[in-house]
Structure 1
């Protein structure tokens, strides 16, 4: 079997296609969560905290800052060593929100998939007859 034929069989397997679709949808879902954080949640946090909260501009200058630059862009362009912890906070917040949304989705899907509690199956007729015979024998006087 040629390597191209083997690759073709591998690529069109159901699991491989499902995984590819999952990755594509996951990437699009990540963009939705990024927008949710950036466009909805962060403005609400800004209003709640009284404004001025922009985590992406939070940083520490590591080392020397010879020109006494203050903005992150200027520091990075000048090649100054900068610890940008604010970007990490934003990405971590995105992760937490994404994990929470995925958790809720899985929980909802599991609830939908969960079969309804089935009523107990009816006892077969032969078992019922045997029980009636047993009960009748118990009621008869012992000799």
Structure 2
């Protein structure tokens, strides 16, 4: 079997295609969660805490002047951007929770399927049982 035909067989298997679709949808879903955290959740948390903008929270490591935006502080030297880390951490927690709920729902749906009918007993086993029962009499 040639390398090209082996690759074609591998690439066209159902599992590989399912994985590709999952990765693409997961990437798009990740962008939705990024937007939700960055544009909705973090501004609300910032407002509750007291008009804090998490995107510009950092510690200057190179002695930059206070009050610079994060982008300007990064241009001036090293910074520890913990506000961005908080945003990404909350993003991860939300995404992990949503995926957990999806897996939980899928597992529940799998359990709800009716059990398969038992396979019919082979004819030779039935015949042997009849012989056994006849010999007991």
Q: How many residues align?
A: 114
Aligned to 2:106: 109
Question: 1:9 maps to which residue?
Answer: 9
SS of aligned partner of 1:114: helix
Where in structure 1 do 4 or more consecutive aligned residues deviate above 3 Å? none
User: Against the structure 1 CA distance between its residues 14 and 72, is the aligned structure 2 distance closer, same or farther, given a 3 Å change threshold?
Assistant: same
Distance 1:45 1:61, change over 3 A: same
Q: Which residue of 2 aligns with 1:75?
A: 73
8 A Cα contact 2:55 2:70, kept in partner? no
CA offset digits 1:4-29 (Å, max 9, x no partner):
22211111111111111110011011
Q: 1-side partners of 2:74 and 2:94: how far apart?
A: 29
Distance (whole Å) between structure 2 residues aligned to residue 53 and residue 98 of structure 1:
23
- TM-score, normalising length: structure 2: 0.72
CA distance in 1, matches of 2:58, 2:47: 22
Q: Give the number of the structure whose alpha-carbon radius of gyration is greater.
A: 1
Q: Check if 1:21 corresponds to 2:35.
A: no
Distance 1:116 1:20, change over 3 A: closer
Q: CA deviation at 1:81?
A: 1.1
Change (3 A) 1:64 1:35: closer
Identify the structure with the greater helix proportion: 2
Q: Which residue of 1 aligns with 2:56?
A: 57
Q: TM-score, normalised by structure 1?
A: 0.69
RMSD over aligned Cα atoms: 2.2
Separation of aligned partners in 1, 2:114 and 2:79: 59
